[in-house]
Amino acid sequence: MTEPISIDVWSDIACPWCYIGKRNLERGLAAASAGDDAPEVEVVFHSFELSPDTPVDFDGDEYDFLADHKGMGREQVEQMLKRVTGVAAEAGLEYRFDILKHTNTVKAHELLHFAKEHGRQHEMEERLMAGYFTEGRHVGRIDELVALAEEVGLDAASAREALESDRYLPAVRADQAQASAYGISGVPFFVIDGKYGVSGAQPPEAFAQIARQVWDEHRAAVAAS
């Protein structure tokens, strides 16, 4: 029996390219599964904080943050975000940087680990990213995170207790330590079967190609055993 392909994804809720990469991965895997003997794939998301020093309630908008954090002029930031918005639109995502609430994402990552334990990690990842980039939801505040957790079918009281107790913070730190061990310095970053590294929001066809390639390797290994 052929083992599923494992895809470990390091990303941050506040990373615009991560949401684009997620959507392109989904499209690529859907394309790869269209033919006979479709690859079996298990995707797991892992925590990566791009700006861990960001306050929960950042005083300013995304333009202010990038201008300060990257030392760019506001006009340059506007051009950059316009380009990202265009790429997101090609992936079927409607980014709204005008209403986006920049915040610290560590609690969102803790919630993802809580959701994973309850079999809802993929739904939670999607809900957090959609809320952050397209709806202007404040994903740094526990009340907002609990509301989003409830929307994907998680128990609100259990989610609140998990976030207020920091119970999943060690799991977040373990993901970050693994990223450091792998030498990951930017996200999204995809580790395929523990041996292939794919950096950046690659197009869907690139994900489809590597899924088929690795699936063929799996089948060849089974045939040789």
Give the domain range for residue 87. 5-224
How far, in whole angstroms, is CA 132 from its chain's centroid?
Answer: 12
Segment 152-210, tens digit of pLDDT: 999 999 999 999 999 999 999 999 999 999 999 999 999 999 999 999 999 999 999 99
pTM for this one? 0.96
Whether the per-residue pLDDT at 35 is higher than 90: the answer is no
Q: Which of 105, 133, 128, 125 is nearest to 43 (CA)?
A: 125
| Tens of pLDDT, residues 59-117 | 988 999 988 887 888 899 999 999 999 999 999 999 999 999 999 999 999 999 999 99
State yes or no: pLDDT of 41 exceeds 80: yes
pLDDT of residue 223: 87
Helix%, strand%, coil% for the chain, nearest 5: 55, 10, 35
Predicted confidence (pLDDT) per residue in 52-62, tens digit: 999 999 998 89
51 contacts: CB under 8 Å, gap ≥ 6: 14, 69, 104
In this prediction, residue 69 carries a pLDDT of: 80
Strand partners, 173: none
Give the residue with greater pLDDT, 35 vs 205: 205
What CATH number should be reported for the domain holding residue 111? 3.40.30.10
Confirm if 148 and 13 have CB atoms less than 8 A apart: no
Ramachandran category for residue 101: left, alpha or beta (phi over 0 → left; psi -120 to 50 → alpha): beta
Residue 1, pLDDT above cutoff 80: no
Count of the separate structural domains present in the chain: 1
Q: Has residue 225 got a pLDDT over 90?
A: no
- Confidence tier at 13 by pLDDT (50, 70, 90): very high
The C-alpha atoms of residue 104 and residue 125 are separated, in whole angstroms, by: 16
Is residue 140 a contact partner of residue 107, using CB atoms and an 8 Å limit? yes
